[in-house]
Structure 1
Amino acid sequence: MKKQLFCGASKKLITPREDLLPYMMGLGGATFGKIQDELYVRVIAFSNGINQAMLVSFDLDKAPYPEENTRLLQEKTGTPADHILFFAIHTHTAPLTGYRPFEPKHDISGKPLRVQEAIREYEEFVRSQMIAAAMEAVESQRPAKLGYRYGSSYINVNRCQDYMMVGCDGREYTECGLGANGAGPVDHTAFVMKVEDMEGRPIAFFINYAVHCVTMFLNDIGDGRSGISGDIGGNVSQYMEKRFEGTVAVWSSGAAGDINPVMMTQTIYPDADTGEPVGQCLGKLEDSCLILRAMAGRHFADVLQIIRNIKCDEEVVDIGSAIEWSRTPGCEDVLKNGQIRDENSSYGIRMHLLRIGQVALMGINGELYTTLGQKIKEVSPMKHTIIINHESSLLLDNPGYILDDETICRCQAGEGGRIPVNGFCGVPDTIAASLKSHTKIMFERILCGNCLISGSQE
C-alpha cells in the first residue's frame, strides 16, 4: 500500500491575559508586568493512511501535564499518545505551568491561593488552545511532500566555564560554573524540515537548533518585573510565519543542556581580582530587546539560507514510534565526591523516538548535553536523527540537566562546581553507554516494521 504523506498544521495564542500577569510565576523567581511578544502553541499533524503522528510545541519553559494532555490529544484526534512529541521551546520568560514537585521553588501547590487560581485558569486556557490547534491541524491535512536540509548558525556557545579562583586563605582552586567556554563542545548545526502540498505551497516548517532560549531571561521592564517573551525560538517562529504566510513554523531545542546564546541579558564572567563568577544583567528592557532582535534576526537569516536549498520530494513515508527508559545509578552528591549513597538509586531518562519518513526525531525528557546528543546520533542507523530536548519533561520521573562525563568530572575536581543539576544527576561511565544501547533497541523496533509497540526495557 502506498503510504502517501498527509500534513496539516495550526497554531493558537497562549499569551496570558494581562489581568493574570501579577499572579504568574517565572523561572528564577521572575514576576511579569508586560507582554513583550506573544506566546503560541503550535501543532503539525502527519499521517500516511495507516499511522498518525503529531508535533505539539509550546512557547513555554516546559510542556504542561504531558501524560494527561497526550492522552487527551489521543481522545480528541485519534493520534496515539506515543506518536505525539510533546515539547516546549524552553523560553525562560514565560509563565510556569504544570505539576513540579521536583522543582520546589516552582511548585504551584505551595503558592498563595490567588496565585494557584490564576495559574489553574491559565493552564485551562492553554489546554483548550492546544486542543483547538490539534483538531484544526488534523482536519486540515492534505496530500503533502517533505524535504530537509542542514546549515550552520553561529549564535551559540558552550556555557560550562572553569573559574580559576583564590580563596580567603590564598589557596588557588578551580570550579566549573556557568559562563562562556569558547573551546567547549558546541553544535552549530541547524536542521530545517519543510512540508508543502502537492502544488508546492508550504504548510509547515520544523526547525531544530541547540541553544537555550535565555536571551531575555531576567529582563527588567523598569520596576524589577520582566516582560513575557518567546525569546529566540518563539520569535524565529513568528518571523517564519510572517515571511511564509499561512504556515506554521515549529522551533525546537537540540541537545542544549550546556549551550547558551553568545549574547543575552545576563552576563557571567570571572572577577578580575578573585576569579569568582560574577553575574550582571542589563538594566533596560530596550537593551534586552535589542539583543533579542540581533540573536533571533541572525538565526532567522541562517534558517532562510537553509530553506532556499530545500527540495520537497519525499511523499511516501513510514511513520513509527518507540519509547525507552534509560536507567542508570544516580546520586545527589555525585558532583562533590562521586560516591553513590544508595546503590538502589535510579537516574531515569525517557527517550521518545518518532520516525517521519527518513527523519528520526528523538525526544529527551530533560536537558541533554551536547556530547550525549552526539553519542545518540553516532549509533543511529538513520542519517537524519534529530535530538529534541524538553520532550515530556514534566513527567514525574524527571532527570533535569543530563550532564556528560567530562562536566561531572570537572565538577568533582573543583569541589562540586556551580553547574545546575536540580540536586540530582547521573554517575559517570554509565549514561552514554545506556543511551546508546537504548537507541539501538528503539531503531530495531521501528525499522523492523513493528512501529506501533512502545517499550520500556531497562
Structure 2
Amino acid sequence: MTTSFRIRLSLVAALFGSLNLVFCHAGNAESPAKQFRAGAYAIDITPAEFPVSSAGSMTHRMADAAHDPLHARALVLSDGQSTIALVTCDSCMIPRSIFDAAKQQASKQTGIPTDHILCSATHTHTAVTATPTFQSIVQDDYLEFLTGRIAEGIVQAHSQMEPARVGWAIGNNPRQVFNRRWFLRPGNPLADPFDRGTDKVRMNPSANSKSLLQPAGPIDPQVPVLAVQSTDGRPIAVWANYSLHYVGGVPAKSLSADYFGEFARQFSQLIDAAETKPAFVAAMTNGTSGDINNINFFEGGERQQPFEQIRLVAADVAASALVAYQRIEYQDWVPLKMQETEIELGVRRPDAEEVARAEELIAEAGPGPWRDRRLIYANETLDLAKYPATVKVKLQAIRIGGLGIVSTPCETFVETGLAIKKQSPLKPTFTIELANGYNGYLPTPQQHAWGGYETWRAKSSYLAVDAEPKVRETLLKLLDQVSK
C-alpha cells in the first residue's frame, strides 16, 4: 500500500468519523424535544377577610367563614415543543377579564403563550362572588387577589416541572347525575317570570311526584381521568371530569369548594398521595352540566346533614375515578397541541315593550332586593337592555396524545357534550365548561323551544338561540385541527 493511498484512506476515515459525530450530535440535540414534562400546584384562593359576598343565589348573601379552603389548581404540561397549562378554580363563575389578566401575568413569568392556557371555574355555588348574576354583589376587593393567585399557581406549577409520564382512562358513574329538566303530566301548570305561559318543561320539580312524566334530556355518566406521574412512578396530578352542576347542602353563611374540593381530598387519600413532595394535585373539572344536578327526581331521597351529601357524592365519584386510574397505561411521551379561537354570538336583548313592562313592575314594587321572581327577572330585563347586540366568546381545543379536551365559557347542556364526544376525531374527548369567561347557559335550540329556567333571559342566560350550534361546530373544527 503506497504512502499516498494510506493518506487518502486516513482522510476518508476522518471524514466519515466527522459525519458520524455530526449525526450523533444532531440526534442528541433532538432528544430533549422528545421529553415529556409536567408540574402541578394547588394554590389557596380563600379570602383572607370576612364577611364576603357569596355567589350562586338569586338574592344577595354574605358568608362569615369558609368551611373548607378554596383552591386554584394548576397543571402545566410540555412535550418539549409545546407547553400548555390547565387551571380549575373553586368559584361559581369567573369573568373573562380576570382570566385574561391572570394569563397575561403568568405568560410573562413562564413564557407559556396565553392561548395555551385554559382557566375554568368548578361552579361551586358557595364561593366568593366574582361575576354579577341576579342580585349577587361582586366582591370587588377580592378580584385582584384572585387574579394574582391564579397566575401564581401557574407559575408555581411551571417551576416544578420534571420529566413525567402521562396517561388517561374513562370511568363511569351514573348514580350521581340526573337531568333536572322535566316534562310534567297534562294539567300541571308551568309558570314563568314573564307571564308568557309557553314553557313545556320545569327545572327541579318535586322529586317522586305524580306530576312527573319524563326527563327532558339525557345524562353523561363518564368520569374521564387524565393522570401524570414522575418517571419513577410518583403521582404528580390527576385531572378528572364529571358532568354534575354541583351538590350543595352548605349553610347559607359558609363558603365551600363543594364536592369538587372534597373529591380532590378523597382521591389523594385513595392513592396514598396526600403527603407526596412536591404535593400531589387532584382536580375535578365540570363537564357539560347546565341541565344536570344531584337530585334523584325518580325516587327522591333523604335530606342529609350539611356537607354530608357532598362527602357521599365525592366518595362515590372518587371511587369511580380510581377504577379508571388503575387502568391507565402511561406513556413516556405524547404530542401536545392546542388551538384557540374567538367567535361572535348574538344576545337576546329585550324589546321596548318588555322593557316598559319591567320598568312598571319595578316602579310599583319599589327598590330591591326582591324575592318575587317576576321582579327579579324584571330587573334582569333592565340590565340586559344595556347589553351589546353581540358578544365574543373564547373557545379552545387541546390534544394530549390521543386524548381531546375542549372548553366552553358557558353552563353547557349535556346534549352538547355528548354530541362532541361522539363526533370528535380524538377518542376519548371531554369538555370543560365555564372556561375562560362566563357567558351564561347554552341550551340547544330544542331546549330553548321547551323553555324553563335555563332559557329565561337574564345575565345567566342571554345568548341567542342559535349560539349552541355555532359553539359546537367551532369546537369540532378545532378538534379536527389539533388531531392532525
Cα offset for 1:160? 1.0
User: What are the within-5 Å matches in structure 2 for residues 199-348 of structure 1?
Assistant: 199-216=232-249, 219-220=250-251, 225-243=252-270, 244-245=273-274, 246=276, 247-262=280-295, 287-312=305-330, 314-332=331-349, 345-346=389-390
> Is the 8 Å Cα contact of residues 166 and 173 (structure 1) preserved in structure 2?
no
Give the aligned residue type for 1:319.
L
Q: CA deviation at 1:14?
A: 1.7
2: CA distance, partners of 1:444 / 1:174: 37
One-letter identity of the residue aligned with 1:441: K
Tell me, in whole angstroms, the C-alpha distance in 2 between the residues paired with 1:393 and 1:128. Answer: 16
1:179 aligned onto 2:204: yes
The code of the aligned residue for 1:354 comes to: I
Q: CA deviation at 1:328?
A: 4.9
Name the structure where helix makes up a greater proportion of residues.
Answer: 2
Kept in 2, the 8 Å contact 1:82–1:323? The answer is: yes
Mapped to 2, the partners of 1:9 and 1:198 lie a distance apart of 15
Q: Aligned pair in 2 of structure 1 residues 232, 420: CA closer, same or farther (>3 Å)? A: farther
Alignment match of 2:450 (pick from 375, 396, 410): 410
Q: Deviations along 1:143-183, whole A, 9 cap, x unmatched? A: 11111111211201011123452499xxx986422116657
Matched, 1:437 2:477: no
SS state at 1:325 partner = strand
Q: Secondary structure at the match of 1:21?
A: coil
SS at match of 2:307: helix
- Paired with 1:161 and 1:407, the residues of 2 have a C-alpha distance of 11
- Paired residues of 1:176 and 1:418 also in contact (CA < 8 A): no
The match for 1:149 among 166, 169, 181 is 169
Which residue type is aligned with residue 38 of structure 2? C
1:382-426 per-residue CA deviation (whole Å, 9 max, x = no partner) reads: 1121100010124xxx2x100012211212xxxx66755535445
Any idea what the Cα deviations from partners look like across 1:98-130, whole Å, max 9, x if unmatched? 5x4xx363353xxxxxxx5xx41x333333433
CA distance in 1: counterparts of 2:298 and 2:320, whole angstroms: 27
Structure 2 residues without counterparts, runs of 5 or longer:
1-29, 192-196, 206-213, 355-384
Q: Is the 8 A contact 1:367 1:401 kept in 2?
A: yes
3-state SS in 2 of match to 1:292: helix
User: Could you report, residue by residue, the CA deviation over 1:243-283 in whole angstroms, capped at 9, with x for unpaired residues?
Assistant: 422310121010111111136xxx9999xxxxxxxxxx97x
Unmatched tracts of structure 1, length 5 or more: 109-115, 271-280, 449-458
1:369 to 413, 417, 420: 413
Shift of 1:333: 6.4
> Relative to structure 1, is the Cα distance of residues 62 and 329 closer, same or farther in structure 2, using a 3 angstrom cutoff?
closer
- After superposition, the C-alpha distances for 1:321-362 in whole angstroms (9 at most, x for unaligned) are 21233445542469xx9xxx9xx9446543211222222210
Q: Secondary structure at the match of 2:482?
A: helix
Kindly tell me: are residues 183 and 368 of structure 1, through their superposed partners in 2, closer, same or farther at Cα, counting changes over 3 Å?
closer
Please state whether the residue corresponding to 1:57 is helix, strand or coil: strand
Percent of aligned pairs sharing the same letter: 23
1:61 alignment partner, SS class:
coil
8 A contact 1:178–1:419 mirrored in 2: no
What residue in structure 2 maps to residue 381 of structure 1? 425
Displacement, 1:446? Answer: 2.7
User: Secondary structure of 2:407's partner?
Assistant: strand
Q: Taking structure 1 as the reference length, what is the TM-score of the superposition?
A: 0.77
> What's the secondary structure of 1:392's corresponding residue?
coil
- 1:446 paired with 2:482, answer yes
How far off its partner does 1:434 sit?
2.4
- Contact 2:55-2:129 within 8 A present in 1 as well: yes
Q: Does 1:81 align with 2:114?
A: yes
Equivalent residue, structure 1, for 2:147: 127
1:22-54 deviations in Å (ceiling 9; x for gaps):
233322123212321111111111112211110
- Whether the 8 Å CA contact 2:54–2:126 is kept in 1: the answer is no
The answer to whether the Cα contact below 8 Å between 1:85 and 1:354 also exists between their aligned partners in 2 is: no
Q: Which has the larger radius of gyration?
A: 2
Note if 1:45 corresponds to 2:76: yes
Work out the CA distance in 2 between the residues paired with 1:59 and 1:177: 28
Q: Distance in 1 between matches of 2:88 and 2:155?
A: 14
In structure 2, relative to structure 1, the CA distance for the partners of 1:441 and 1:305 (3 Å cut) is: closer
TM-score where L is the length of structure 2: 0.73
**Secondary structure, aligned partner of 1:288:** coil
Asked whether the 8 Å contact 1:372–1:404 carries over to 2, the reply is yes
CA distance in 2: counterparts of 1:359 and 1:418, whole angstroms = 30
Q: Which moved more, 1:432-441 or 1:187-196?
A: 432-441
Q: Deviations over 1:287-309 (max 9, x none)?
A: 12222221112112211222122
CA RMSD of aligned residues (A): 3.1
CA distance in 2, matches of 1:38, 1:179: 29
Asked if the contact 1:253–1:388 (Cα under 8 Å) also holds between the matched residues in 2, the reply is yes
- Contact preservation (8 Å) 1:361, 1:386: yes
Equivalenced residue count is 391
Find the aligned partners of 2:483 and 2:54 in 1 and give their Cα distance.
43
